[in-house]
């Protein structure tokens, strides 16, 4: 009787471990493998010499036998990659600040001023985010040419907010809802203006939401392809996503080592920027979604 009673908890514990393995760890491992394998392949290709890249019969395609910095050296010193990187950074930072400024004012007006039809205005702004860029870039191209901004980074800084502002506004509306309105009512009673309330009360409490919107805007601006391809023509003004595809491909010959090195170096700023603010990003999304 005692042996059976002691065996039952052990069996239950084993069943719990097996169930946890099947339900949690195996799916999580598969997810991480699928998610991280492209980055691993990109890194391996960036440091492989050409002899290993094209000779799978002799060399293992998933490992590096003789690492080299040849592709990175070629990218940095034989191409305009530093200029592409600087242009991408300038465009992303400019579009991010412009989008945050417009989104903050729009979200505060929709959520706090409570004018008639404010909910429908917020919904309409978010629906604008669902319009595909492939439809908008044709009329936007006409406006860019008429304003004399074609082949200029300023064109991208002014165009990117068309798809950044709608989502950032929706995100900040949800976050502003989580801030107690009584704080602003007390400030109004004390004689504060709406601009003072926004600057001194609402924005300091909405820092996680602003950081989240900034990460979203910066990431999309950094990786955007269609507008950068349509509005920029000269090689020195191209952004990284467009330049590595158009400048590192000669005819039908792909310089895979340089391509992967450019992709690897181009993804590092976004990854570093995201790693510093991931906690704010998660908390702001939680505050926006629960509302």
Q: Where are the domains of the chain?
A: 2-68, 71-290
Question: For 270-279, what is the mean pLDDT?
Answer: 76
What confidence tens digit (pLDDT) does each residue in 63-110 have? Answer: 888 888 888 898 888 888 999 999 999 999 999 999 999 999 988 888
Confidence tier at 11 by pLDDT (50, 70, 90): low
- Alpha carbons 159 and 281: distance in angstroms, whole number: 24
Confidence tier at 289 by pLDDT (50, 70, 90): very low
pTM of the model: 0.81
- Say which CATH architecture domain 71-290 belongs to: Orthogonal Bundle (1.10)
Q: Which residues of 95-119 are buried (b: 16+ CB within 10 A; e: fewer)?
A: bbebbbeebbebbbbbbbeeeeeee
């Amino acid at each position: 009787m005692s042996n059976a009673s002691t065996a039952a908890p052990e069996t239950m514990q084993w069943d719990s471990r097996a169930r946890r393995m099947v339900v949690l760890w195996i799916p999580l491992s598969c997810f991480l493998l699928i998610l991280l394998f492209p980055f691993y392949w990109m890194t391996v290709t960036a440091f492989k010499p050409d002899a290993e890249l094209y000779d799978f019969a002799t060399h293992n395609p998933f490992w590096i036998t003789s690492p080299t910095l040849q592709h990175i050296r070629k990218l940095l010193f034989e191409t305009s990659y530093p200029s592409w990187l600087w242009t991408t950074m300038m465009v992303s930072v400019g579009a991010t600040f412009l989008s945050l400024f417009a989104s903050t004012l729009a979200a505060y007006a929709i959520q706090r001023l409570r004018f008639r039809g404010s909910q429908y205005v917020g919904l309409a702004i978010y629906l604008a985010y669902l319009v595909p860029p492939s439809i908008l870039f044709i009329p936007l191209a006409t406006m860019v040419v008429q304003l004399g901004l074609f082949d200029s980074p300023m064109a991208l800084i002014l165009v990117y907010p068309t798809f950044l502002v709608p989502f950032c506004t929706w995100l900040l509306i949800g976050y502003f809802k989580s801030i107690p309105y009584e704080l602003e009512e007390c400030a109004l009673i004390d004689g504060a203006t709406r601009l003072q309330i926004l600057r001194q009360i609402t924005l300091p409490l909405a820092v996680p939401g602003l950081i989240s919107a900034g990460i979203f805007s910066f990431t999309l601006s950094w990786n955007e392809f269609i507008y950068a391809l349509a509005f920029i023509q000269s090689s020195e003004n191209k952004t990284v996503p467009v330049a590595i595809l158009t400048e590192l491909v000669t005819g039908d010959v792909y310089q895979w080592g340089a391509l992967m090195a450019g992709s690897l170096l181009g993804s590092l700023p976004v990854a570093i920027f995201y790693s510093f603010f991931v906690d704010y990003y998660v908390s702001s999304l939680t505050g926006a979604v629960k509302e």
